Structure 1
Amino acid sequence: MTALSWDGSAPPSGLVETSRTVEAGGLVVRVTAVGSEVPPVVRVVQDAGVVVVEADGERLRIEWQLPCTGAAAYWTPNTNSRWLPPSWARPRETSVAKGAPVGSLIGAGDRALCTFALGELVRPVTIGEGAVEETGRFAWWAEHDGPTLSLRLDLSGRHFADTLADVSTWWEASLPARPPVPDLAYLPVFCTWYALHLAMTHTDVERLAALAAPLGFRSLIVDDGWQTDERTRSYATTGDWQPAPEAFPDFGAHVKRIQQLGLAYLLWHAIPFAGDRSAAAQRLAGHTLAHLPQLETHVLDPRSPGVRAHLVDRLAAAVEQHGVDGLKIDFIDTFARPADTASPEADRPTVAEGVSELLAALDIRLRATTPQVLVEHRQDYVSAGLWPYATMVRAADCPHNVVENRVRTVDLRLTAGPLAVHADPLTWHPDESPEQIAVLLQSVLFSTAQVSVDLAAQRPEQLAALRFWLGVMTEHRGLLQRGELRPHRPELAYPMIEARSRRQLAFGRYAPLPLRAAGEWDLLLVANSDPDTLVRIEFDRPPGRVELLVQDCLGGEVARAQTPVDGTELAVRVPTGGLLTLTRAE
């Protein structure tokens, strides 16, 4: 067990350590060469409140601290509690398969006291971070094997979302150019998981698809269940990736019928798994990282070229043989685990590098057949090192959890770079009210909506709420999903979120708070999720004559007027689950 860090320092390595300290933006940064008597070579570049520290060496550690004054929240991309962790908390490890080496200490007014990021996007990095009880300081340390460690510190005091956006730009500059994400990745998705779980046949899927298309869905994800006729929550049959013979007797024809409805077809694969009852587990015995008895599956070792070849062939078959439009690639983060065994033919030094090689080979193979292929990844594998191999990234499973889905999708947006961000599929009880269905959709307003319910069991008013809000999200996807995102109060689960694109502005209102509409705008949208229906907007300048439209959760018109707003405040009644649209009059 790793020794606890009471003072915010890294645990002792037991090796020779040679350190060098440098000044960086008013902070003292210590860089240590672990296992070397030669001090590391360190370079520091400073510009407008941002410092980049680079060091060379075989194994490197970097440490820094600052006073924990005014700190209100600590942000990391894995959607933590947002409370300040103690310095003795267990360090986190990031790699291409799990997490991302970034964090932000946030103070009052959503101001970043310190946002850090590391440049290593593939190999493992160990990160310690937390408040030191004895000193009242916040301490960080990060360590990984060389040859270079790059640390970016943003001490500019700007809104934390702006500092994280700059981190994404910094990472992207180090990655190879990639094709743009297709617009289809930003359009609503129907997923089979919560609606059907494993109890699916081609008839069930086609029935739901026929109901989904007229509602505004443009893609269908067929989740776990297509590869097995079993109905238990087990992964024992994963790894062969052949359609279930009874449930899907003619898979290619089934895919074409879905596509003829106007839906793109994505197919689920749990990429690391070779189930206990699969042929793959027998053929690849000895080329695994671990056995997970509770899931009845082995985790394959991506360092093995034979494993990589098997997985590329089987996943590519979905596109090449069955004609699907893309893949939902699940459980990549399961690769990020201590290896119980190792493949004797491993040709990559780390599992993370094997994962990177696997996904790069798969990407080449998929794009050779389908250049606009859709590939979904999921929290917690959110490293920028995965950006070249995906088109969208989805919030981790949080069924029925309106707040968590909101927080997770926003967290993903902050460092998703070029990828479209998707919600965990929304699901609800058959008796759910239309207002609450609208609130569920509003909770993921700034991402691509996924939904997974039995559409045939919905009442007309439930379908009306779904249709209306999918339409709003589709029409304004440039603003909502690609605009400049500004979430507020992370320590309170983002009770207000805004997005801006040119002269368009949108708010998600999740608590009875006033909204502040700054700057010039021609279109202003407010989605009201709170039971308090009095929406108050404060302007930094009188907007003049505006056209006002209030709609309820079904899209029905509640109020419409053209009215002058000569002051800097406006109060409008907007029903829960409703939409306020303000348009500047000519």
Structure 2
Amino acid sequence: MTETTGPTRQTGTASPEPDLWEPHAPAAGTLRPLPAQGLDLRVSGTASARQLADGVVEVTAEGPAAVRIEWRVPCVDATSFWTPEPRGTGWLPAAWSAPRRTGLAAGAPIAALVGTGDAALCAFAAEQVEVLAGAGVVEETGEFRFWAQAEGRLTVRIDTSGRHYARCLADLTAWWGEGRTAVIPDAARRPAYSTWYSMHQGVSPERIETQAALGKDLGLDVIIVDDGWMTADRTRGYAHCGDWEPVSLPDTAEHVKRVHDLGVQYLLWYALPFIGKDSAAFRQIGRYVLADAAHMGAIVADPRYPEVREFLTGRLARAVEEWGMDGLKVDFVDWFARAAERADAPQPGPEADCASVAEGVEKLLAAIRARITAAHPEAMVEHRQPYVSPGLWPYVTMIRATDCPLSPQENRQRTVDVRLAAGPVPVHADMLMWHPAEPPEQIACHLINVLFSVPQISVDLAAQDPGQREALAFWLGVFREHLDTLQLGELRPSRPDLGYPLVTALGAGTVAVARYAALPVDASAADWRTLLVANANADPDVRLTGGSGTAAVTVQDARGRIVRQDEIDLGRTDTVPVPRGGLLTLRRG
């Protein structure tokens, strides 16, 4: 390990290109060169750099106000710029592009410049969650410039090792995990049913219990009841949020018990920040306004005030403490951050006990988590992209991709993006829904597109024909049987610039590959005993490369029916036909 430390010093020679270091970006003191393993690195404030491994440097800057760290790498063989934000991957931004602001309730301070062969030309993460960061191509030089800025202190890790970008990102999220805990119940990794797309606000005990029973038979162990349970209004506004009384779920505890008797766990939806203007809660705490969401019929409550936090914590905890539910779907947390960034955001009044909205949000989420786990140690909490910050790990048990109904490629990209930044927290797909006429092959493809996450299903299960149910049951069985590899194995997504046309997970003795385009599958790894290839492409010819020895072959179609079962010589077999939506399983002794 090498280390450079102490205040950075002005060299006495002006930078030949000062305008290229700070175009269209906020200043944070005077930037000075800092030697660090050949990086073109500049910092403000008092700074130090230490080399952690070959190609990995940690840089810290401190100062009385905002501090900034900037660096450049040659933009050679670059293919895409990866971030965990919706639609954030697949292109190279310009250096003058608007910076990203990450915080507790929005985004995560991590990114990577990816090159040919999925090598990380440069990946970085910040230790702090409240960071302003920019990145992009410098038009004058063809370099790629990164910068990050934070108040008072900033530590970043920069990885230019050239390894697979997913390996670099895994190391960076492991670094985050050194100071944070995430307690994950087993049920948070099990397939779930959601009422949102299938029912929207039209929920009732009878409808919920029917879907829970049908879902359990298919392999869905959790049901998540969304909007509509707290109001008789069906206009899909938020004017009735805040009271959180189970208007549409009479005899709530008995209803929950009936769902539990089916062997299904139960989560309930809350729009945490919203206090509707037609609610009694508005008359009680409506004076604590962080932002007016008039178009939604609600306000965003200000979590800097203890009265707001106590009120919201008590309302949400009832689901677990009084009604016996197994957790909460906590929605719209990012609206706190949006409201705090508005130019007209109010200053805290004398009753506030938090200097920042982020501090109030963290206290609120911590209080909710403490209350529900005191009543139910295995209680679950779902959050949603874009609030994927590592600062939330102690308060969450799963993160869902943001809404993308009936968009398999988008669901694939979002779940993979979030997984690369989520560390130990399970990632759930956006709810899967489809037209009643959807063929079993396409239903299978919907599931294959989210194979490396936890699927949530949101269709009327009673309306599915036998083929649709067979496809659903078969693939949910694959998720459950190979959970350790699919969710906990080493994730290797290929070609982020093309939306991940091939994704691989490496487990203990099992390799799982999902094929979304007509790309070859590498069978050369010496230690696999089981190789799974899920085919979501219309081309049935799965080409295997690099294999040797013999293997038992099973090919199943989208409904799980066996269409081939024999043995092949991997050294002589080039192609194995696999139907669209089907699964190839190779096993060797």
Match of 2:194 in 1: 191
Contact 1:376–1:391, Cα closer than 8 Å, also in 2? yes
Amino acid at match of 1:69: V
Contact 1:276–1:296, Cα closer than 8 Å, also in 2? yes
Contact 1:547–1:561, Cα closer than 8 Å, also in 2? yes
Match of 1:571 in 2: 575
5+ long unaligned stretches in structure 1: 34-39
Q: Give the superposition deviation at 1:87.
A: 1.5
Paired with 1:157 and 1:288, the residues of 2 have a C-alpha distance of 48
Contact 2:24–2:96, Cα closer than 8 Å, also in 1? no
Q: Give the superposition deviation at 1:47.
A: 2.0
Q: Give the superposition deviation at 1:178.
A: 4.4
User: Can you list the C-alpha shifts for 1:339-392, whole angstroms capped at 9, x where unaligned?
Assistant: 522442222221112111111121111111111111111110001111111111
Instruction: Give yes or no for the alignment of 1:242 onto 2:245.
Output: yes
Paired with 1:237 and 1:145, the residues of 2 have a C-alpha distance of 38
Instruction: Give yes or no for the alignment of 1:26 onto 2:38.
Output: yes
Paired with 2:346 and 2:386, the residues of 1 have a C-alpha distance of 24
From 441, 445, 450, give the equivalent of 1:439.
445
Instruction: Give yes or no for the alignment of 1:367 onto 2:373.
Output: yes
Any idea what SS the aligned residue of 1:57 has? strand
Contact 2:44–2:61, Cα closer than 8 Å, also in 1? no
Amino acid at match of 1:441: L
Contact 1:289–1:342, Cα closer than 8 Å, also in 2? no
Contact 1:9–1:139, Cα closer than 8 Å, also in 2? no
Match of 1:495 in 2: 501
Question: Structure 2 matches for 1:69-148, cutoff 5 A?
Answer: 69-79=76-86, 80-121=88-129, 124-146=130-152, 148=153
Any idea what SS the aligned residue of 1:335 has? helix
Paired with 1:195 and 1:12, the residues of 2 have a C-alpha distance of 45
Paired with 1:294 and 1:499, the residues of 2 have a C-alpha distance of 44
TM-score under structure 1 length normalisation: 0.94
TM-score under structure 2 length normalisation: 0.93
What is the RMSD of the two structures over their aligned residues, measured on CA atoms? 1.6
Instruction: Give yes or no for the alignment of 1:277 onto 2:283.
Output: no
Contact 2:182–2:425, Cα closer than 8 Å, also in 1? no
Q: Give the superposition deviation at 1:518.
A: 3.1
The structure-2 alpha-carbon separation of the partners of 1:301 and 1:379, relative to structure 1 and needing over 3 Å to count, comes to same
Match of 2:295 in 1: 294
Q: Give the superposition deviation at 1:260.
A: 0.8
Q: Give the superposition deviation at 1:282.
A: 2.0
Paired with 1:525 and 1:6, the residues of 2 have a C-alpha distance of 52
Runs of 4+ aligned residues of structure 1 deviating over 6 Å after TM superposition are none
Paired with 2:149 and 2:138, the residues of 1 have a C-alpha distance of 19
Match of 1:551 in 2: 556
Paired with 2:528 and 2:313, the residues of 1 have a C-alpha distance of 48
User: Can you list the C-alpha shifts for 1:1-39, whole angstroms capped at 9, x where unaligned?
Assistant: xxxx98452657588x33432122211221114xxxxxx
Q: Give the superposition deviation at 1:45.
A: 3.5
Question: Structure 2 matches for 1:416-495, cutoff 5 A?
Answer: 416-495=422-501
Match of 1:9 in 2: 22
Any idea what SS the aligned residue of 2:391 has? helix
Q: Give the superposition deviation at 1:450.
A: 0.5
Amino acid at match of 1:28: D
Match of 1:213 in 2: 216
User: Can you list the C-alpha shifts for 1:107-134, whole angstroms capped at 9, x where unaligned?
Assistant: 100000000110002xx31111111222
Paired with 2:69 and 2:23, the residues of 1 have a C-alpha distance of 9
5+ long unaligned stretches in structure 2: 1-17
Identity of aligned residues (%): 49
Paired with 1:14 and 1:195, the residues of 2 have a C-alpha distance of 49
Any idea what SS the aligned residue of 1:60 has? strand
Contact 1:286–1:342, Cα closer than 8 Å, also in 2? no
Paired with 2:25 and 2:555, the residues of 1 have a C-alpha distance of 62
Contact 2:440–2:471, Cα closer than 8 Å, also in 1? yes
Amino acid at match of 1:75: W
Match of 2:357 in 1: 351
The structure-2 alpha-carbon separation of the partners of 1:31 and 1:370, relative to structure 1 and needing over 3 Å to count, comes to same
Contact 1:24–1:46, Cα closer than 8 Å, also in 2? no
User: Can you list the C-alpha shifts for 1:242-270, whole angstroms capped at 9, x where unaligned?
Assistant: 111xx222111111111111110000011
Contact 2:502–2:516, Cα closer than 8 Å, also in 1? yes
Paired with 1:50 and 1:419, the residues of 2 have a C-alpha distance of 25
Q: Give the superposition deviation at 1:564.
A: 3.1
Paired with 1:119 and 1:388, the residues of 2 have a C-alpha distance of 16
Any idea what SS the aligned residue of 1:134 has? coil
Instruction: Give yes or no for the alignment of 1:204 onto 2:207.
Output: yes
More displaced, 421-430 or 83-92?
Answer: 83-92
